[in-house]
Each structure stands twice: as structure tokens, then as C-alpha cells.
Amino acid sequence: MTASMIDATGSTAGWVWPGLATAGRRQTTRRALRSASVIEWRYYAVLAPAFHGIVGLAVVNPRQHFARVAESGLLVMIAGVLDRPSLPATATASDEPLLPPPPAALCWMHLFPADACSFDAAAPGGVTAGDAECCIAVAHDGPAAADIEIEAGAGLLLRLSHVGLAGTALPATQGRDFPGPLGSGWLGAHWTVDCPSPVAVADGNLALGGKLLEPLATRPGSEPGHATPALRERVAAGDNHWTWQGAAGYYEHSFGIRPLPLHGWDFLFAPDAERHQSAALQTYRGSRALRYLDVCWQQAGEHRHQRFDAASLDLTWRESVQDPVLGVRRPVVRQVEAAANGLRLQLTNRVLHRIPLLRREQLAVRHFFISEEIGVADWTLTDRRGTVLASARGQPCGGELAHFRWRAPRPR
């Protein structure tokens, strides 16, 4: 690992929000809205049988504008399935989703004020924060390698080492084509997706205590955090430690100026650390620049990469359901077909479980949802002669669906 601020792909290790959130000497409505619309997240995914989920850090509205309607600070999230049930061997299998009964699943969140956090202090990308309930320490060694520790006094300890495979970093991509005056027009909205680790190796462990779970809801929807009955039973029985080594992972660092109620995305990732390959789809509502699919694979001992842009890919929801918690339709089966530069990709993704990430206290986030997805993917990449260059079948994968929704829980 080599420590650097920016690597050859344009990936940046350091935090970007301080430069984005500058309001200027003379405060105006536009400047305040731009500063309030600053979002920056770091998304570390682990796809292990012991823990299939994410550790997320999201800076939102760091200068605390419009505090009556908008949240502000660094939101820390751990969400996933523990002791993941066996997955189907292929995404085309018509198995029922893992929803009934819910598996052992956790969604935990903690919000720190931005001014209580220390960003980039020891090295670019690092952050430390602590209060009476929780403390975190994140250390980056360059854009693609991180060590994370999160501890909550009520009974949570997570340690995670997340290292991107050399040669797989994707070029950072920016969209400045969001429609309307609150898009890239008058407001000047823009968004950058920086993925230095489309395929990574993750080692770590997670310990949970019963006191941490007590205040959490037993199912998603009523409170920001939840722990399913299956997880509570395991922790109560003393089965409260999970460890993973050499697991496949994915890391993304994305940021920009975009009002959260207008934001939205539909993306998935299917990394295979053993075979040094990955397929990752990005789509953002209203943007053609941020609608693409990247494939990484090895051929003749060399790393290869192909990006299929918006004009060369077709994404459809072959199956979908109305989600009673989210209040929207969400995909059960995604189908992607893409062709460019003599290469052809076919991908099928089946969503087996979803974990809602919901906030209800402030109006700007109450009507927005994130659905964290757990599933499997089949994909095949062929050349113009039909020769298979890379493929996966029943590959564990993750992803998210997120956008505005009318249905929302009432504030407390």
C-alpha cells in the first residue's frame, strides 16, 4: 500500500466536503442552499457469510444550514445480515426472497456533529470522533485501503480492514447534467462517483451486546435502527461474535452538491476477490453521465477494464414488488445488457433481502429512503467472436435503491 492524496485514476483519499461547503463572504440563498446540499459518503461493503453488509460514513449538510428541516453531521451506519443464509446457486433461480422470516439482521446508526469530528488529521481520508455513546477511528493509507474501528458503550465493537486489489481502481466520474434550477442549473448541482476499490479484500470482526439491541426496533420502519428477532435470539444465547477473513469487498467514495430530496440512485456491485473480477453498475436519477457499468477482469495475467456508458447499456427491472415499509416499488430482478468495443455483457441480479435505511426526524430526510440490498448475480462478458472472457454465477452481491418517497413515518 502506498499513501497518496490522489492516484493515477483521479481517486482522492482526503475528505472533500470542506471545499464544497464554503458559503463565501456574502451569504445568499443560493450559497446557503449549495452548502446545505453538500453530501459526502464513504461506503465499505463486506460480502462474507458471517457478515454481508456495509459500514457507511456520510457527511450531510456539515455547516448546519436550515436546521429545522435538514439533518447535519457525520452519520455512521452498520447494516447487514449476520450468518447469512445459504444463497441460491444462480440468480435465475426462482427462490423466494429471504424476507419471511427475516434473517439475523442489524441496522445501527449514530450521528456526530461535524464540528465534533477530526477529518484528515493523521492522514488524508482519516476521521475520528467520540461522544458519550460512541467513538470511531478511520485511517486511510491511500484511496483504496482503510482500517476502521467503531465502538459503542452499549455493546458494539467493529474492526474492519478493507484493501482494494491493485490495478482495479476505476476512474472517478462526475455528473453535471442534473435537470432543473435545483439541479445543475441555478444551483449548480454536481456529483462525483469515485470507486478506487470495485473489488477488495476485507478482514474484520463484529461483537454485539444485548444492551445495544434493546432500544432498537424489532423490524424496519418505525425507528432509524432495528435488530430482527432472529439476531436478538442469537445474541441472548451468547452467539454474539462474527469474524471474516479474505472476504470480497467493495469501496466507494462519492461526493457533491445535490439536494437530498432530489437525489436518487440505483446501483449494484458483484466483486469476486478470488478471481480478481467485478461488475459494478451506477445510475443516478436525472444524469446520463452517471449511468454506466464497469467490468474488471483478468486476462492473460493482466488486469482489464471495460466501461459501458449510458448509450451502450439497457437496464430493466424484470421483476419488482411494492414494498410496504418503503412505500415504493423496488426491484427483485434486474437485467442488464450492454455492448461496446466488440464486447458484450449480460447480467442478471436477484435481490434476496433488503435492509431499509430510514431517518424520520427532519423533513428533508423523512421523505427519502435507502434500501440496502443483498443478493446474487450472474454475468458473462464475451468478445465479438462469442468467446467468454469472464463470468460469474451465483456471485454474492450488494447494491442500493434510493430516492424520494411520499410515504414517511411521523416524527416523534
pTM, to two decimals: 0.94
Q: What is the pLDDT of residue 67?
A: 80
Q: Is the Cα torsion angle 261, 266, 270, 276 positive or negative in sign?
A: negative
Of 21-30, 83-92, 266-275, minimum mean pLDDT range: 21-30
Contacts of 185 (CB under 8 A, 6+ apart): 179
410 belongs to a structural domain: no
318 belongs to a structural domain: yes
Q: What is the pLDDT of residue 406?
A: 81
85 belongs to a structural domain: yes
Mean pLDDT of the chain: 92
Q: What is the mean pLDDT of residues 90-99?
A: 74
- Within 165-213, strands assigned E span 173-175, 190-208
User: Domain range holding 288?
Assistant: 17-404
Q: What is the mean pLDDT of residues 122-149?
A: 96
- For residue range 313-362, what is the model confidence (pLDDT) as tens digits? 999 999 999 999 999 999 999 999 999 999 999 999 999 999 999 887 77
Of residues 12 and 136, more confidently modeled: 136
10 belongs to a structural domain: no
CB 147 within 8 A of CB 138: yes
In Å, how far are 38, 258, 373 from 192, measured between CA atoms? Answer: 12, 11, 22
8 belongs to a structural domain: no
Query: Distance between CA atoms of 20 and 271, rounded to whole angstroms?
Result: 31
In Å, how far are 272, 372, 382, 402 from 410, measured between CA atoms? Answer: 41, 22, 50, 19
- For residue range 288-306, what is the model confidence (pLDDT) as tens digits? 999 999 999 999 999 999 9
Place of cell 426491484: 331
99 belongs to a structural domain: yes
Contacts of 64 (CB under 8 A, 6+ apart): 72, 114
Q: How many domains does the chain have?
A: 1
Query: Distance between CA atoms of 138 and 41, rounded to whole angstroms?
Result: 13
272 belongs to a structural domain: yes
Nearest Cα neighbor of 119 from 136, 144, 132 is 136
6 belongs to a structural domain: no
